[in-house]
Chain A
C-alpha cells in the first residue's frame, strides 16, 4: 500500500502502476456523471464529452452547487453509489477512454474486466464526506446539460486539488470489494451455522 499523487490527464502507465489499497490524491479534472448521464452517454454518445473524458477521471457525484457573484461553487460534493452504473461503465471506459472512475461502494465484474483490458482504475471516495470533498474543488470550469438534467444529474467539470480516494479496483484485475464480500460471506455462514447461496 502506497500513497500516490496523480494528475490528469492520466496516462496508462501510471494507472497500471496503481494497486488495490493505494491511497491517492488526485489533482486536475473531474467530470461528474451519474444515472441520467450514463444512460445518455451510452444511448446518445454525445460528442462534447469525448475531449473532456479522455484521460480524465469520471466522478459519480450529484453535487449541491451555488452561484456566487456569477460563478459556480461546489458546496457539497461527495460520491454517489457506483453500482447503478455497472450496466454502462464498461462501455464508457472503452468508448471514452476514461482512466479513473471515482465513486463509492465499488463496481462489478464487467467494470473490473474493462479496467484490466483498457487500463483504468476504480477510486473509492468517502461517502457522505461531501463538504470536505467540495473543499478540494478549486474551480468549477463548466457545466453541461444543467437545464436538461437538473443540478444533481448535470455533468460538472471540476478542477480539483489533492482529492483523496482509495484504489479499490485496479487494472491488474484485483477488487477489494470482491475480497471483502467473500470474506464477510464466510463470516455470515459461520454466524448462521449453514451454507448460504
Chain B
C-alpha cells in the first residue's frame, strides 16, 4: 500500500517533469521544418531547451500541471478503494515535492485546496482486466488547452458541415483555426465522432494516450487523421500562433455509436506539453514506461 503510493508519486513526477519520447521527437522534427531566424523556430528551440532543463531539474516542465486523468487496469473484483487512496496520497506527496502546482480551486469561492485534491479530482477510471498485476496510465492536461476543446453538433450551417466524414473534417479544421496559438500550439487533437456529449469528451481525451506515430487501425479514421494534420499545418497558425509550418503535432480520432438524433464531433485540444506516463506493477516488479493501455480500441 505504502509502496504503491510511492510508485504513483514517482509516476506523477515522471509525467510532470518529462516529455514522452514520441512527443519530443515530433517537436525535434518540427524545428527542422521551420525557417531559421523566425519566431516559430525560436519558440520550438526554447521548448526543447525547456524540456531538457525540466528533466535535469526534475521540475514541472509547464507550471500548469493540469487535470490528472488516471486509467487503472486491475484484476476483476480487486478492491478499488486502496488504489484510490494510494493515488490521492501520491497526489498530495507530489504536490508537496513541487512536482505539481497546487491546482484545484473551489469552483465559486476560488479557494485553493493546496494539495491538488478536490471534488472530482483526480479523475480515476478503473478498468478490469484478466492479468494478475496492475497497470496505471496518467495524463496531465493544462487549462489553457482545455479551454480550446470544443464540441460540434452536425449538421453545422456556419461550416456547411453535414453528417459525414467531410463534415467531421470541417469541424476539426475550424477548431484548429479558432484555437490559434491559445492552446499552446503546436497541439494535438483528440477526436471522438459520435457518442453523447459526455462520452464524446471522455473518448476524445483518451486519444492522447496514443503514441503520436501510431497508425489508426480504422482506415477511414487513419485517412482523416493524416488529412487534417496536413491541412492544419498549412493554415499558417504556427508554434504559439506566431505563424509557421507546425500548427499540430498529431490528430488522433475514434468513433462511437450515436443516437439517430445526435451527431457530435468532439475535439479535445492538447498543448505540445502532452504529459503522460505509465507503470505496470506485478508483485515486487515495478516497470515505468511511456506505453499506455488507455485509448486503445
Chain A positions near chain B (C-beta within 8 angstroms): 21, 23, 36, 61-64, 66, 75-78, 80-81, 83-84, 104-106, 124, 126-135, 149-153, 164, 166, 168, 176-177, 180-181, 183-185, 187-188, 191-192, 194, 196-197
Q: Can you list 28 contacts pairing A with B, beta carbon distance less than 8 Å?
A: A64-B100, A66-B98, A75-B57, A75-B60, A76-B54, A80-B144, A104-B144, A104-B181, A104-B182, A104-B240, A105-B180, A105-B181, A126-B50, A128-B61, A131-B50, A131-B59, A131-B60, A134-B59, A149-B112, A151-B112, A153-B105, A176-B243, A180-B238, A180-B242, A180-B243, A188-B174, A188-B235, A192-B170
Is the C-beta of B119 less than 8 angstroms from some C-beta in chain A?
no
Q: Is the CB of A76 within 8 A of B147?
A: no
User: Whole-angstrom distance from the CB of A174 to the nearest CB of chain B?
Assistant: 14
Contact A62 B101 (CB under 8 A): yes
Beta-carbon contact of B240 and A124 below 8 Å: yes
B47 cross-chain contacts in A, Cβ below 8 A:
126, 128-129
In the bound assembly, the distance between CA atoms of A64 and B140 in angstroms comes to 15
8 Å CB contact of A128 from B50, B112, B143: B50
Q: Residue on A with the closest CB to B55? A: A131
Residues from chain B with a CB closer than 8 A to the CB of A153 are 105, 110, 112
Extra contacts besides A130-B60, A166-B39 (20): CB < 8 Å: A23-B39, A64-B98, A64-B101, A75-B57, A80-B143, A106-B241, A124-B242, A127-B181, A128-B50, A128-B62, A130-B59, A131-B54, A132-B49, A134-B59, A149-B110, A150-B112, A153-B112, A185-B177, A188-B177, A196-B174
Cross-interface CB contact of B235 among A63, A124, A130, A184, cutoff 8 Å: A184
B102 at the interface (CB under 8 A from A): yes
Instruction: Using CB atoms, name the residue of chain B closest to A36.
Output: B110
How large, as a class, is the contact surface on chain B? 35 or more
Q: From B112, B159, B181, B236, give the contact of A187 (CB < 8 A).
A: B236
